[in-house]
Amino acid sequence: MAALTKQEILKEVVKAGKDPVYFTTNYCRISHPQKGLIPFKAFDYQQELLKDFRDYRFNIILKARQLGISTISAAYVAWLMLFHKDKNILVVATKLQTATNLVRKVKAIIKNLPKWMQISDIIVDNRTSFELQNGSQIKGSSTSGDAGRSEALSLLIIDEAGHVEKLEELWTALYPTLSTGGRCIALSTPNGVGNWFHQNCAEAESGINDFHMTTLMWDVHPDRDQKWFEKETRNMSKRQIAQELQCNFNVSGETVIHPDDLQWYLDKVTPPEYRTGFDRNYWIWKQYSPENHYLIVADVARGDGKDNSAFHIIELATLEQVAEYVGKSTPDDFADILYNVAAEYGNPMLVIENNNIGYAVLKKLIDKEYPNLYYATKSDHRYVDPITAQWQSNVIPGFTTSSKTRPLIVAKMEEFMRNKLITINSNRLLTEMKTFIWYHGRPQAMRSYNDDLVMSFAIGCWVRDTVIVESQKNVEYSKSFLTAISTAKTSISTTIPGMRDHKITKETERAEDAAAFNYQYIGLLKG
């Protein structure tokens, strides 16, 4: 190429300074693992990103892997630093190395420009940062560091944002530094639902935040076709494919319930027949039927306003969720709600998690003389019927969720859902399950999300299955449990058989019905 005149050089510098696409496609060079230093021939989707970076203040990119998005971001940063004075740029990532890799790409692009295009020299050059003579600077930092939190930023880049822990807190700390017109580029492959990246992508798609959303699937690359995809995914799991190539949030995460199972249930949800209660948060799909047996399971809010009290009503024979409540009721109000709802469903067994202020709800129900509260031994959490519980010192009311019982009840729920043994009617419950994940080996809600409906439902699955099955081991224990489930709202007859005026009471009829149900139910379980 013939040497350019001063006038031509000036013209090219001005042209490149006005257009990041022109600058990148004509003058940027990158390192290729086999070919060495080569011109950066940006693909169409990369050029569109450059325009978005220039035209939109906030950009969020949901991408497949190996599309060169970090490289095109580095080219934009190089353009921004060279042709604009006093720009302060911060790159953050989970690991410092990830952040500094992008910083090095920016530095390499600038150093490999034609000498006459390097209009501002590097005057400070460190491992994690560098500064140009025109006052523009860039710094890489891990999310655990505090870089940039006290200084105004021109551009914030969050690399692999879906994998950054506690990004909500970081964003809260850094957002004020962008208040003077600073920009943001957040890019990542998906990593499940409920995190900052997923939430902001969803809001961007709905147009309710400031981010401009771009989704780049694996096939946006012109060199990739179905054969490439089949070869690439041959040894990959569903989650890996969803995360690395398909930009699928739901399948990419480590949810306790497999996303395919979740989708199966989501496709079958139905609207409630009634939405009632003072807050209209009590949803009913099927009203009480005297022919059926029920179980009510409740989770009581901690009392700090951050979570909800919730309960489910489950039909025992079919394992169908027939009613559900979730709301921020006070313990007294929640106890009254449970008492009244239970009366409407024949006073079935009422299982209440006794952690935290759950005891306050349990105490009020005991004071109201609710007949069918769930009791268990302190040591091994074994069910004890309400009558026996009165004279045993090692028995407490309610269900205790502990490090021992939590994985058991969650595993039972997962088993039931995986085998499609239950009917879930509530999209509220299934929405919670989307953010109910394995975290360091423990099943729990993602940060800033609730699991009140999930945990109460898991307790219900465990009690329904385990307690009733175990009741086969002891006849008297079985009778007491089934009697508790089937207690009538009518008074008990005190007459002795053979006495004058003795008659079969409704209580006796219910006991007989319970025995019949026992045989049917146990048979169902064995089959």
Q: Fold match between 6-253 and 261-471?
A: no
**Residue 220 DSSP label:** G
Got the DSSP string for 377-389?
A: ETTT--EE-HHHH
Between the alpha carbon of residue 58 and those of residues 22, 146, 158, the distances in Å are 22, 22, 11
Each residue of 421-457: pLDDT tens digit? 999 999 999 989 988 887 767 888 877 788 999 999 9
pLDDT tier for residue 303 given thresholds of 50, 70 and 90:
low
**Mean pLDDT estimate for the chain:** 84
Q: What pLDDT, on the 0 to 100 scale, is given for residue 381?
A: 76
Each residue of 372-410: pLDDT tens digit? 999 988 877 788 877 887 788 888 998 988 888 888 899
Single-letter amino acid, residue 250: N
122-125/183-188 β-pairing: unpaired
Q: Does the structure show a pLDDT above 80 at 514?
A: no
What is the average pLDDT across 159-167? 88
Closest CA to 81 of 28, 26, 40, 119: 119
Q: What pLDDT, on the 0 to 100 scale, is given for residue 32?
A: 78
Residues 1-15 as b or e (16 or more Cβ within 10 Å = b): eeeeeeeeeeebbee
Q: How far apart are CA 316 and CA 119, in angstroms?
A: 76
Instruction: Please state the length of the chain.
Output: 527
Sheet holding 155-159, edge to edge: 122-125, 129-132, 137-142, 88-93, 155-159, 183-188, 58-63, 211-216
Each residue of 310-337: pLDDT tens digit? 999 999 889 999 999 999 888 899 999 9
Q: Does the structure show a pLDDT above 50 at 525?
A: no
Tell whether pTM > 0.85: no
Between the alpha carbon of residue 333 and those of residues 230, 365, 472, the distances in Å are 57, 11, 37
Pick the CATH number of 261-471 from 3.40.50.300, 1.10.10.10, 3.30.420.240, 3.40.190.10: 3.30.420.240
Q: Where are the domains of the chain?
A: 6-253, 261-471
Neighbours of 420 (CB within 10 A): 11
Task: Find all residues with CB under 8 Å of 352, minimum gap 6, and list them.
Answer: 297, 298, 300, 338, 358, 361, 362, 365, 373, 374, 397, 398, 399
CA–CA–CA angle 35, 36, 37 (5° rounding): 120
pLDDT tier for residue 164 given thresholds of 50, 70 and 90:
confident
Q: How far apart are CA 427 and CA 53, in angstroms?
A: 37
What is the average pLDDT across 332-355? 93
Each residue of 61-115: pLDDT tens digit? 999 999 999 999 999 999 999 999 999 999 999 889 999 999 999 999 999 999 9
Q: Where on the phi/psi map is residue 356: left (φ > 0), alpha (ψ -120 to 50), or beta?
A: left
Residue 46, beta-bridge partner list: none
Q: What pLDDT, on the 0 to 100 scale, is given for residue 388?
A: 80
Helix 358-367 vs helix 331-344: angle between axes, to the nearest 10 degrees? Answer: 50
pLDDT tier for residue 256 given thresholds of 50, 70 and 90:
confident
Q: What are the tokens at 272?
A: 């409630």
pLDDT tier for residue 148 given thresholds of 50, 70 and 90:
low
Between the alpha carbon of residue 302 and those of residues 279, 325, 366, 396, the distances in Å are 19, 16, 20, 19
CA–CA–CA angle 364, 370, 373 (5° rounding): 90
Architecture of the domain made up of 6-253 = 3-Layer(aba) Sandwich (3.40)
What is the average pLDDT across 214-236? 91
Each residue of 14-25: pLDDT tens digit? 999 999 999 999
Q: What pLDDT, on the 0 to 100 scale, is given for residue 444?
A: 85
Cβ contact 507:490 at 8 Å:
yes
